[in-house]
Amino acid sequence: MLHIDLSSLEAGARGPATGGIWFEDGYTFPEAGWSDFPIVVLTWWIDLLARLASGQTNRGEISFMDGPYRVHATLTGESLQLEFVSENPGVSGASSTTTLDHTLDEAIGAARALLEECRRRGWTSDDIEDLQRSLNLAQSRTP
């Protein structure tokens, strides 16, 4: 569902690292190879999924940092409805239904891989520490 292109990661000169991050589930959003700030966006995604898993909320959204693209998530029972929203005229949205457990497992796997790549490259930053904290929290809320 969530793809992060680890080979495209570039350290930010004054800010977060950039690289490919997008959703894909019969529909690609915002688009295949979308370049954004994967550490930050993945942190927001895991935080939202952890709040859903803990019962703090049954809905929420994240935004990509580049472009007017958002993902709305609504939890009904075990079913997680995702709506992909663009504010660009002429760009239609799509939706996907999955399970929270599956989506959270995928996000945890993506975070582990991204953090390992950051360690391999010798990168440190507040954003990386935030992702590690979010990952730890998400893992503590899952069986």
**Domain boundaries of the chain, sorted by first residue:** 9-140
Whole-prediction pTM: 0.91
Per-residue pLDDT, averaged over 82-109, amounts to 87
| pLDDT tens digits, one per residue of 35-56 | 999 999 999 999 999 999 999 9
CATH of 9-140, one of 3.30.70, 3.30.2450, 3.90.550, 2.60.120: 3.30.2450
Give the C-alpha separation, 61 to 83, whole Å.
9
Report the pLDDT value the prediction gives residue 12, as an integer from 0 to 100: 73
Whether the Cβ atoms of residue 21 and residue 39 lie closer than 8 Å to each other: no
The pLDDT confidence band at residue 90, using thresholds 50, 70 and 90, is: low
Inform me whether the pLDDT recorded for 15 exceeds 90: no
